[in-house]
């Protein structure tokens, strides 16, 4: 699951770079990227907890700019380890301070932060945000249990987008969250957007209301409670008012709240992390996948268009060739093969010369071209090649229509461009496949002739009548006409001799059988053209055509990968099993 969430986040980031900031999707995609960052970090926390059961307690101090987060961290740690400045955005890196333990006790933290590098606190630089620090505080504090207290960057300044990922990773790592707000900042929308976003983490929370004066504490506290109830569904957490001491220049911690964080740390429930993780993913799952599912829908629509066009092409093939009274010649070829089997005097010789004459151009080109020549065209190949060209033109028209009417017009435009770029290649593949099919199918034609011949052997009278037939056509003239291109095999069939042979077969005892054989051959030929040519050649290449579009505006997450992720989301035997 972690890999899938990372992939989805990356695709969102790539697409976002291509969007105009005025685009309505821009802010929506930004929000989803932030949600995916939360999910990624929370999944990493689950792996950390599973792999390191005794991992120390983590407390994250968060809040808007100039709320006094670093001052509160120093107050809790009883030290001045966290850098404090009156300038907004002074802290731009997550900074962890070990209280009552050492960095060695935090083994696994680097794996959690992933690409973030752990540096010494003094080595952190404002221009680089993919790093964090982890240091030890020598002083002991009665306000904190043993663990790591994190000082975090703000989440609401102009530059916060640059270091937001570090903030999100630190918040997701936390077992306890300390929200620090001032009287000027507690009502800011950014504060409550963050608190709403992390509600699903269900972390024990403490609110520090900083920079208060005694006369305003009660009123602001009540207002803050109302904000919480308007934003979240859980109960209002403990609120600690921190009165600003002018003499010390820093807040003071009220004695009545001295054990609040120690008690809060006992409410952590890491054993429920997997359930919460699943709740987080389920909450946003359909929103995150909206553009992915839209691409899948477009892909299915495209495949339906391909199927419809192929079905129409197959119908046209039946009309223009198989059922055409003048174009269909396959069964006549089978009859010519049958006459060869019968060894009728004269006909066998004519057929032998006819085959040599008709294949001479092919054999000549084959010799000159090193074996790469195509079969000489005939009526069926002409029909098939014409259908292939028409099918691609028809699909191009469909794509043009979709680019003008569909809401996801960019997807259809990119697919139309891909079809235009690969049209010649697709047509060449189809023409070669048609030539290969036509050559291979001659075996089926010969098998049909063998089938008729065996049937004739069961009818001696018909067989002898055929063998008694003599050639009345000038073989030399017929051969010359064939070579000159005056007639083809189909024309040979209507020659007087062939009419006589065909009449004998049709009017004989095997006439109905011959019709049955012809129907079987047509059906087999139709099925072969459909499967070996239209489906194996065109359909598969056209189906995957959109998937080959390498565009930064596409998510290109396969249905198989999505299915695996959704299956992992549904497995609850041990919480959520991670991929």
Extended beta strands in 461-569, E state:
none
pLDDT recorded at residue 307:
94
Residues 435, 436, 440, 442, Cα dihedral to 10°: 10
Q: What is residue 335's predicted lDDT score, i.e. its pLDDT?
A: 72
Phi, psi of 406 (to 5 degrees): -75, 150
Query: What pLDDT is recorded for position 482?
Result: 41
pTM of the model as a whole: 0.75
CB 303 within 8 A of CB 543: yes
Give all strands (DSSP E) within 247-389, no chain letters: 250-251
Q: What is the DSSP string of 15-36?
A: HHHHS-TTSHHHHHHHHHHHHH
DSSP 320: I
Say what the pLDDT of residue 176 is. 94
Q: End-to-end distance of the chain based on CA atoms, in angstroms?
A: 5
List the structure tokens of 442.
């001659």
| pLDDT for position 447 | 87
Alpha helices in 508-558 (DSSP H): 511-528, 540-543
Strand order in the sheet with 250-251: 117-119, 131-136, 95-99, 147-151, 58-62, 176-182, 205-212, 238-245, 250-251
Task: Please state, as a whole number, how many other Cβ atoms lie within 10 Å of the Cβ of residue 295.
Answer: 20
Q: For position 325, what pLDDT does the model report?
A: 77
- 69's tokens: 């987060």
Per-residue pLDDT of the chain (579 residues; tens, 9 = 90+): 889 999 999 999 998 988 888 888 888 988 899 899 999 999 999 999 988 888 999 999 999 988 888 889 988 998 887 766 555 556 888 999 999 898 888 988 999 998 999 998 888 888 888 999 999 988 888 899 999 999 998 888 777 788 888 999 999 999 999 999 988 888 889 999 999 989 989 999 999 998 887 777 788 888 989 999 999 999 999 999 888 766 555 678 888 888 999 999 999 988 888 888 888 898 899 999 999 999 999 999 999 999 999 999 999 998 988 888 777 777 777 776 776 666 554 444 554 555 454 444 444 443 444 443 333 447 889 999 999 999 999 999 999 998 888 777 889 999 999 999 999 999 999 999 999 988 888 888 888 878 877 877 776 766 666 556 534 433 444 444 444 444 444 444 445 555 555 666 666 656 677 788 788 888 998 999 999 899 998 999 999 999 888 888 889 898 899 998 888 888 754 444 443
Structural domains in the chain plus CATH codes:
55-268 (3.40.50.300), 294-560 (no CATH)
Radius of gyration over every alpha carbon of the chain, rounded to an integer in angstroms: 40
- The 3-state secondary structure of 228-244 reads HHHHCCCCCCEEEEEEE
């Amino acid at each position: 699951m972690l890999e899938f969430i990372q992939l989805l986040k990356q695709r969102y980031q790539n697409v976002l770079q291509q969007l105009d900031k005025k685009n309505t999707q821009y802010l929506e995609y930004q929000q989803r990227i932030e949600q995916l960052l939360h999910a990624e970090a929370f999944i990493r926390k689950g792996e950390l907890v599973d792999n390191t059961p005794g991992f120390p307690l983590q407390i994250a101090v968060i809040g808007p700019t100039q709320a006094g987060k670093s001052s509160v961290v120093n107050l809790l740690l009883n030290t001045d380890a966290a850098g404090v400045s009156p300038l907004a955005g002074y802290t731009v890196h997550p900074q962890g301070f070990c209280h009552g333990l050492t960095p060695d006790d935090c083994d696994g933290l680097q794996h959690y932060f992933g690409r973030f590098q752990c540096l010494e606190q003094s080595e952190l630089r404002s221009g680089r945000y993919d790093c964090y620090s982890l240091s030890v505080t020598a002083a002991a504090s009665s306000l904190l249990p043993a663990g790591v207290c994190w000082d975090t960057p703000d989440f609401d300044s102009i530059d916060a987008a640059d270091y937001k990922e570090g903030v999100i990773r630190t918040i997701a790592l936390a077992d306890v969250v300390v929200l620090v707000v001032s009287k000027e900042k507690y009502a800011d929308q950014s504060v409550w957007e963050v608190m709403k976003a992390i509600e699903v983490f269900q972390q024990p929370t403490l609110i520090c209301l900083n920079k208060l004066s005694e006369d305003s504490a009660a009123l602001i506290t009540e207002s803050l409670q109302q904000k919480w109830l308007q934003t979240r569904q859980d109960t209002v957490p403990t609120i600690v008012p921190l009165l600003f001491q002018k003499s010390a220049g820093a807040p003071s911690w009220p004695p009545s709240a001295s054990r609040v964080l120690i008690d809060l740390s006992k409410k952590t429930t890491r054993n429920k992390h997997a359930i919460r993780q699943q709740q987080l993913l389920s909450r946003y799952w359909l929103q995150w996948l909206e553009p992915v599912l839209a691409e899948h829908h477009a892909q299915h629509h495209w495949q339906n268009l391909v199927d419809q066009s192929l079905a129409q092409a197959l119908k046209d093939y039946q009309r223009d060739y198989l059922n055409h009274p003048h174009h269909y010649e396959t069964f006549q070829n089978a009859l010519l093969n049958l006459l060869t089997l019968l060894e009728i005097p004269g006909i066998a010789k004519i057929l032998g010369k006819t085959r040599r004459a008709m294949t001479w151009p092919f054999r000549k080109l084959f010799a000159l071209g090193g074996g790469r020549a195509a079969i000489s065209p005939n009526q069926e190949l002409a029909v098939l090649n014409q259908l292939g060209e028409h099918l691609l033109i028809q699909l191009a028209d469909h794509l043009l229509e979709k680019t003008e009417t569909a809401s996801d017009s960019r997807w259809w435009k990119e697919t139309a461009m891909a079809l235009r770029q690969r049209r010649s290649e697709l047509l060449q593949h189809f023409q070669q496949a048609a030539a290969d099919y036509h050559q291979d199918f001659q075996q089926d034609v010969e098998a049909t002739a063998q089938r008729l011949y065996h049937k004739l052997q069961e009818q001696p009278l018909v067989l002898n009548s055929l063998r008694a037939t003599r050639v009345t056509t000038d073989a030399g003239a017929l051969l010359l006409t064939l070579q000159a291109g005056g007639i083809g095999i189909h024309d040979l069939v209507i020659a007087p001799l062939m009419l006589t042979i065909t009449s004998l077969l049709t009017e004989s005892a095997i006439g109905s059988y011959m019709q049955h054989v012809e129907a079987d051959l047509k059906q087999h030929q139709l099925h072969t053209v459909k499967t070996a040519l239209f489906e194996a050649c065109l359909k598969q290449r056209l189906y995957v055509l959109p998937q080959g579009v390498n565009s930064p505006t596409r998510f290109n997450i396969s249905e198989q990968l999505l299915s695996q992720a959704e299956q992992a989301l549904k497995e609850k035997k041990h919480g959520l099993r991670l991929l």
